[in-house]
Amino acid sequence: MKRKNDKAFKCKKCGRITYPERVVCLNCGNREFDIIPFTDECTLLTFSQIFQLPWGINDRYLTIGVCKFDNGIKAMGRITTPKVKNGMRMKANWKLFREIAGEDVWGWEFEPIK
């Protein structure tokens, strides 16, 4: 089953944006949040390449990164190309990566905007 992960949460008291969802605001302890939808585009803040991958991933390496969406939400995900630099504009997609022990593994995939 596809888990839709297209929203973050903004504390109604202090304004801290939380992703993924939390019961209590990490900043002020408030329990009330407004829902914030993700945007389609984001900016790459930082990235890394992983060469020692776990069993079951058949790629030579993975490029992962943290992106900041246009509405302030930050999320980590896989980047589709190794040729990246901080500050690049990216398009975000929520994608099924693989299955582990009968469970689907979903996550963010970022691709550079041409």
Q: Residues near 67 by Cβ (< 8 Å), separated by ≥ 6?
A: 42, 43, 44, 45, 74, 75, 76, 77, 90, 92, 108, 110
Beta strand 103-112 pairing with 74-79: parallel
Confidence (pLDDT) at 4: 56
Confidence (pLDDT) at 82: 86
pLDDT at 98 over 90: no
Confidence (pLDDT) at 86: 97
Q: Specify whether 44 is located in the same domain as 32.
A: no
Q: 24 with 17: CB under 8 angstroms?
A: no
Q: Specify whether 48 is located in the same domain as 4.
A: no
Q: Specify whether 30 is located in the same domain as 43.
A: no
Q: Specify whether 59 is located in the same domain as 100.
A: yes
Q: Specify whether 10 is located in the same domain as 28.
A: yes
CATH for 98: 2.40.50
Q: Specify whether 31 is located in the same domain as 79.
A: no
Domain range for 32 is 1-37
Confidence (pLDDT) at 63: 95
Q: How confident is the model at residue 2 (pLDDT cuts 50, 70, 90)?
A: very low
Q: Specify whether 71 is located in the same domain as 114.
A: yes
Q: 66 with 46: CB under 8 angstroms?
A: yes
Number of domains the chain is built from:
2
Q: How confident is the model at residue 29 (pLDDT cuts 50, 70, 90)?
A: very high
Confidence (pLDDT) at 56: 74
The alpha carbon of residue 106 and the mean position of all alpha carbons in its chain are separated, in whole angstroms, by 10
Q: Specify whether 16 is located in the same domain as 43.
A: no
pLDDT tens string 35-93: 998 888 999 999 999 999 887 778 888 999 999 999 889 999 999 998 999 999 999 99
Q: Specify whether 15 is located in the same domain as 59.
A: no
pLDDT at 1 over 50: no
